[in-house]
Amino acid sequence: MGKVLPRIDDALATWMKRQHLYFVATAPADGGHVNLSPKGPIGTFRVIDDHTVEYDDRVGSGAETAAHLRNDGRICVMFCAFDEPPRIVRLHGRGELLPHTDPGPGGARSIVRVHVDRVSDSCGFGVPLMEYVSERTQFERWVASKTDDDLRAYVAEKNSRSLDGLPAFD
């Protein structure tokens, strides 16, 4: 049975850091496309305090999360245990985009900070048991092959607007 937790305590923070990836869901205020993205590696995610988390928003093929946060701010971060006892944790809250160094380490466009107003967990019995093999290396190789100017140009060309035409990155 699921339950609402009062905060992100040390045990929960440690559990989240053991997961290999997490998911982020956002939506624009007035309809449009809902977005759900896998995020990782887990080292890009940080617990700041018992109601605040953040992660590096890395260069990608789209910019829905950034656009939706600028438009509406609602966000849900979800963790699933794939290779240990079943569990799902959701962090609901309001997100904001913080600037990163230009461009940030590992191809980061910005930092997404989430002010968490609801922490919940549920059984996760429907999540398959899966074996972790390794991180993929394609993204790191792609970023390493680009200059800072290349990455800025990519973000300007591919990440300035969402699918629905909302502004994402300037």
pLDDT 10s per residue in the chain (170 long)? 689 999 999 999 999 999 999 999 999 999 899 999 999 999 999 999 999 999 999 998 899 999 999 999 999 999 999 998 999 999 999 999 998 876 677 889 999 999 999 999 999 999 999 999 999 999 999 999 999 999 999 999 999 999 999 999 98
Assigned domain for 168 exists = no
23 located within any domain:
yes
Domain span at 51: 3-158
Q: Is residue 167 part of a domain?
A: no
Query: What is the rounded CA–CA span in Å between residue 52 and residue 91?
Result: 10
169 inside domain: no
On whether residue 40 sits in a domain, the answer given is: yes
**Residue 12 is assigned to a structural domain of this protein:** yes
Domain membership flag for residue 15: yes
In a domain, 85, yes or no: yes
What does the block give as tokens for 4?
């609402």
Instruction: Give yes or no for a contact between 120 and 5, defined as CB atoms under 8 angstroms apart.
Output: yes
Beta strands in the chain (DSSP E): 3-5, 22-26, 35-39, 45-49, 52-58, 74-80, 88-99, 108-122
pTM score: 0.95
- How far apart CA 88 and CA 75 sit, in angstroms, is 16
Q: How far apart are CA 121 and CA 143, in angstroms?
A: 35
Domain tally, the chain:
1
Which token pair is 156? Answer: 């300007």
- CATH number assigned to the domain comprising residue 54: 2.30.110.10
What whole-number distance in Å separates Cα of residue 139 and Cα of residue 91? 26
